[in-house]
């Protein structure tokens, strides 16, 4: 099952002298249960691709299909992108992922509330997810009371909460030391395997590439599949 398929994406920032061509005909696929890595030097367009797939920053050309359904074609949206974001896509970023004045538990429940799930079962679901990611005992803590690794686990729990087919993560381990970073990457794999979610992760850390099923490399707006290192 293809969770996400992107075909021939083009994205240009600015115009005239300041024009930057960030994506030049990028195509990629991520399947359900698959962990995909996006490698590449700074400024190569990784984040641009990820926010494109995340329907935050639609590329002006090309198509994006979510679960076999066309959601974007040449910059034109099919359906409500915000609604697709809150129900179909989980987001994890490098930092500032969580709402600072909500507890870990509330941060997870928030995304359920955004999806109009407000019942008592959201409490159990949030708690279960936090426990699943090993931060169950931290559920009442506020983000600033959590370590960087714990914050990312809470963020992953939140990304998982609406059971989306796709999770997008942009350098989620950049603020973590290598041990904790690796642990988080392994969590992504566990999530993909056990929940059947496709996970696309932008990373700079070559040491964790063995965790991924597929590795793409970005270079000046052009994406290519890299050799599997594992």
**Chain residues that interact with Mg ion, rule: CB under 5 A:** 47
Neighbours of 85 (CB within 10 A): 17
Stretch of 37-45, 61-69, 115-123, 188-196 lying at the interface with ligand ATP (CB under 6 A):
37-45
- Give the tokens for residue 163: 């059971």
Q: Does position 22 bind ligand ATP by CB under 6 A?
A: yes
Residue with tokens 């609604």: 83
| Three-class DSSP category at 2 | strand
Residue 100 partner contact from Mg ion, ligand ATP, other proteins, none using kind-dependent CB cut-offs of 5 to 8 Å: other proteins
Taken as a whole, the chain contains a residue count of 230
Please report, for residues 13, 102, 170, the alpha-carbon distance to residue 20 in angstroms, rounded to integers and kept in the order given. Answer: 5, 38, 20
Query: Which chain residues interact with other proteins by CB under 8 A?
Result: 47, 51, 56-57, 82-87, 89, 91, 93, 95-97, 99-102, 106, 110-111, 113-114, 170
Positive/negative CA dihedral, 38, 51, 95, 196? negative
215 binds ligand ATP, rule: CB under 6 A: no
Report if residue 60 touches ligand ATP, rule: CB under 6 A. no
Q: Which does 105 bind (CB under 5 to 8 A by kind): other proteins, ligand ATP, Mg ion, none?
A: none
Three-state DSSP class for 113? Answer: helix
Shortest distance (Å) from residue 158 CB to other proteins: 8
- If one asks whether residue 45 binds ligand ATP (CB under 6 A), the answer comes out as yes
Contact yes or no for 69/1 (Cβ under 8 A): no
Positions that interact with ligand ATP (CB under 6 A): 13-14, 20, 22, 40, 42-48
């Amino acid at each position: 099952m293809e969770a996400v398929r992107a075909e021939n994406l083009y994205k240009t920032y600015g115009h005239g002298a300041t024009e930057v061509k960030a994506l030049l005909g990028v195509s990629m696929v991520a399947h359900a249960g698959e962990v995909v890595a996006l490698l590449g030097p700074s400024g190569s367009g990784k984040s641009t691709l990820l926010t494109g797939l995340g329907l935050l920053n639609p590329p002006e050309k090309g198509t994006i299909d979510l679960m076999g359904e066309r959601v974007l074609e040449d910059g034109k949206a099919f359906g409500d992108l915000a609604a697709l974001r809150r129900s179909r896509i989980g987001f994890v970023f490098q930092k500032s992922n969580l709402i600072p004045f909500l507890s870990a538990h509330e941060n997870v429940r928030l995304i359920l509330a955004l999806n109009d799930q407000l019942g008592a079962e959201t409490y159990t679901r949030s708690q279960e997810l936090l426990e699943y990611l090993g931060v169950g005992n931290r559920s009442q803590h506020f983000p600033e009371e959590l370590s960087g690794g714990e914050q990312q686990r809470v963020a992953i729990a939140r990304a998982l909460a609406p059971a989306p087919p796709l999770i997008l993560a942009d350098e989620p381990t950049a603020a973590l030391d290598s041990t904790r970073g690796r642990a988080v990457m392994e969590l992504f794999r566990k999530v993909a395997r056990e929940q059947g979610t496709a996970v696309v992760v932008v990373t700079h850390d070559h040491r964790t590439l063995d965790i991924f099923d597929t590795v793409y490399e970005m270079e000046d707006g052009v994406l290519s599949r890299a050799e599997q290192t594992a």
